[in-house]
Amino acid sequence: MCNKLWMFVTCVCVAAMATQIVMADEAPAQTITCESGEVVFSEIKPEYAKALLAIAIEARRVYAEDFGFDMPAKLTLNIQKRSDGRTRLWTDGNSQMFLEIASVEDLAPPSQSGYFNIYGMCHEIGHMVMYRKAKLIGMPEGLGEGWAHYAGSVVTDHVYKKLGQNIWPQPYNYSETEGVARLAKQAKDSADTKDASKRVALLFYQTQQKYGEEKVMAAMKTALDQKPLGQQIMPLFSDALVKLTNDESVRTLVPDDLLNPKVKWDVADKAINEETTRGQVRVDDDTGFTLKYDDGSSDNMISTSGSGHAVMFYAPDGSWAVDSIRLYGSRYGTQIPPDENFYIFICDQDFNVIKTIEKPYSIFERGDPKWYTMSFDPVKVPRGFYVCLYFNPSATKGVYVYYDTDVAKSHSRKALPWTFISDLKEKQDWMIRPHLVKAQ
């Protein structure tokens, strides 16, 4: 979930067992397992792996026990060394973290490596706190990263109080360099407020300064417990904080762009008309017709984290409604599909949502792609409209949406309602087809 590397950590698991696993064409991997977590690693010293796991486990405990957030029973941390010079850390948003390092030197304290390793573990688990409950749809710019930045800083301080500086193979005061003290320094630097995620982090920090971290965390827990869409998080947070503090002025702390996120457009042409939908094909049947751009043959597939798959269409004269969507795709991840729904959004040409439809993930099967049909009550549409599907994908679950590059032009976009819509870089179209019937 985090593209920047603010991370790395270490944790001592008493009585942990290490098992060597030799994989073909790969360096031997080791697994260290504890009751509430495990780390699988190779090409780094075991003491770093133990430290990272211990810190992750303690951070998880703080989020779950001290602040009451929903947390997985067990965390899994995967660490491997890369040969392409890239270092990164991310999470599946549920229970797994993935750490790829360019060099073992990246595990040194920040003064030597430039990476905030311990904070990184706390930061990524902060993402789990939000994404185990909320959906990205309508998430205001900077909210996801800003929350994880704030929460990760707070939890870093708690971890330091419990585990101390000796948890790291090269001991140092990580509370001072990676905790809330760092946020306090950033609050004094006006340049930091220009970055959306840091601006949000500082909003939470300033709210903490006024009301205390317990109330900030309790208000976020109340908001997330309602399993909101991204656009609903900050209004729910504000409502909860007002009740906790009995102070209506709380509402003035949260800027309007976080309460009412708006779509950011990054497209060459917003219009939907005969010219912009050139190449659209109509296929009639007994009940109505299907609109499509693809020729039935796919060229590749993709699952895009933090984005949905949107296609524009242009209906003929008359009054029409969409009653089903066909998609060529396949599910990836665990054998058993996740117990959650994905979203179909029917939007007008300004990308305002006309109707939100939820369908179970279990519709899709693992393995070879095929056509899936998703039917629903007819939704009346204007002439120009969008169909957008969002699967809330991660490294361990999602749906591959296939696309065709043999099209007249691209009519497809990466998008999320209430958030953004942008052109694709290549000439391609998602293999998504709406079926239209006469509107009643």
Give which of 361, 264, 374 is closest to 303, Cα–Cα.
361
pLDDT at 316: 97
Of 69-78, 112-121, 189-198, 318-327, least confident by mean pLDDT is 189-198
CB 253 within 8 A of CB 207: yes
Instruction: Please state the rounded mean pLDDT for residues 96-120.
Output: 95
Task: Kindly report, residue by residue over 346-381, the tens digit of the pLDDT.
Answer: 999 999 999 999 999 999 999 999 999 999 999 999
3-class SS of residue 300: strand
pLDDT digits (tens, 9 = 90+) for 138-192: 889 899 999 999 999 999 999 999 999 999 999 999 999 999 999 999 888 766 5
Beta-strand relationship, 429-430 and 397-404: antiparallel
Q: What is the pLDDT of residue 14?
A: 28
Contact 11, 55 (CB under 8 A): yes
The confidence band for 83, taking pLDDT boundaries of 50, 70 and 90, is confident
pLDDT tens for each residue of 202-228: 999 999 999 999 999 999 999 999 999
pTM of this structure: 0.77
Residues with Cβ within 8 Å of 100's Cβ and at least 6 positions away in sequence, in order, are 79, 80, 81, 82, 86, 87, 88, 89
Residue type, 424: L
31-55 pLDDT, tens digit each = 999 999 999 999 899 999 999 999 9
Q: Is 415 helix (H, G, I), strand (E, B) or coil?
A: strand
Residue 23 has pLDDT above 50, yes or no: no
CA angle 284, 289, 291 (to 5 degrees): 110
Smallest CA-to-CA distance from 353 within 387, 400, 323 is with 387
Confidence of residue 12 (pLDDT cuts 50, 70, 90): very low
Cross-strand partners of 40: 31, 78
Percent of the chain at pLDDT > 90 equals 82
**C-beta of residue 72 within 8 angstroms of C-beta of residue 93:** no
Distance CA 162, CA 213 (A): 18
Measured on CA atoms in the order 20, 22, 28, 31, is the torsion positive or negative? negative
The per-residue pLDDT for 26 is: 54
Find tokens 């899994």 and name the residue: 76
Residue 401 has pLDDT above 80, yes or no: yes
Question: Across the chain, which distance is largest between two alpha carbons, in Å?
Answer: 73
Q: Is the pLDDT of residue 13 over 50?
A: no
Residue 25, both tokens: 């064409």
Q: What pLDDT score does 386 carry? A: 98
pLDDT reading at 395 higher than 80 = no
Residue 19 is predicted with a pLDDT of 30
User: How far apart (Å, rounded) are the C-alpha atoms in residues 365 and 333?
Assistant: 10
pLDDT over 70 percentage in the chain: 93
Q: Which of 132, 109, 121, 127 is nearest to 79 (CA)?
A: 121
**CB contact set of 226 (below 8 Å; sequence gap of 6+):** 232, 236
Distance, first Cα to last Cα, the chain? 44
Mean pLDDT of the chain: 91
Phi, psi of 245 (to 5 degrees): -105, -15
Which domains does the chain possess?
17-211 (1.10.390), 264-438 (2.60.120)
27: confidence class by pLDDT, cuts 50, 70, 90: low
